[in-house]
Amino acid sequence: MLEASPISTTPDLEEVVLLCPLGRPIGTAAKSRIHTDRTPLHSAFSIFLFNQDGDMLVQQRAWSKQTWPGIWSNACCGHPLPGEALEAAAHRRLHDELGLTNVRLHLALPKFRYRATFLGIVENEICPVFIGQCDGTPELNPDEVAAVDWVNWGAFVHAAQTRSASHFAHFSPWSRLEAKELAASDILLHLFQDL
């Protein structure tokens, strides 16, 4: 497991794109202010990265994060900026959180949507899911990521599908839901052929 070094960055002043129930943009709001007990529907994305052995990169979210602090999740998540293409946003966050560049991504679940609550804070997102291959060593941004590790994909999916008492049961709800949908499709069978 790799842990973050004590390097600090400037606070996150991003805006997120607010969406209507059909997924169309209806405005923007400060990311730091929308995550409440009544979080409006907004645009996001999620990234699953795998190494050559088929293991999945997971991260522990920084303890200073407003939403889901200290919770383990998939490799990276984020929000596209107003006017920013989704894949460009995904690459921006991979670099900002994990120091990763030149990762080839494939949009695997373009219509994924979820709502979840933790410690009174609601996540309410239309959150397309990317997959990619990564064999490099992440350089962690401690404002975003506390630690990373590689885990067995099959064990993670089994835990997500059964809600088993394994340590994977304590992962973010979106990572478990996304893993179930990825496992139910054949998209990962082609990961290493297409990337």
List the CATH number of the domain containing 157: 3.90.79.10
Q: Is residue 116 part of a domain?
A: yes
Q: Which domain holds residue 126?
A: 12-194
- Closest alpha carbon to 133 in 154, 114, 153: 153
- For the annotated catalytic residues, the residue numbers are 77, 125
Task: State which H helix or E strand residue 13 sits in.
Answer: none
Predicted local distance difference test score (pLDDT) of residue 168:
65
Helices 153-162 and 173-184 pack at an angle, to 10 degrees, of: 110
Predicted local distance difference test score (pLDDT) of residue 2:
53
Mean pLDDT across the chain: 88
Whether the Cβ atoms of residue 147 and residue 154 lie closer than 8 Å to each other? no
Q: Report the pLDDT averaged over residues 86-90.
A: 98
Q: Is residue 2 part of a domain?
A: no
Task: Please tell me which residue, 10 or 83, carries the higher pLDDT value.
Answer: 83
Q: Is residue 7 part of a domain?
A: no
Q: Is 29 exposed, middle or buried (0-12, 13-18, 19+ CB in 10 A)?
A: middle
Count the domains in the chain: 1
Q: Is residue 123 part of a domain?
A: yes
Task: Please tell me which residue, 194 or 26, carries the higher pLDDT value.
Answer: 26
Q: Is 50 exposed, middle or buried (0-12, 13-18, 19+ CB in 10 A)?
A: buried
Task: Please tell me which residue, 171 or 58, carries the higher pLDDT value.
Answer: 58
Q: Is residue 52 part of a domain?
A: yes
pLDDT at 134 over 60: yes
pLDDT > 70: percent of the chain: 87
Does the predicted model carry a pTM greater than 0.75?
A: yes
Q: Is residue 6 part of a domain?
A: no
Q: Is residue 63 part of a domain?
A: yes
Q: Report the pLDDT averaged over residues 106-112.
A: 96
Highest mean pLDDT among 38-47, 65-74, 147-156, 185-194: 38-47
Whether the Cβ atoms of residue 168 and residue 183 lie closer than 8 Å to each other? no
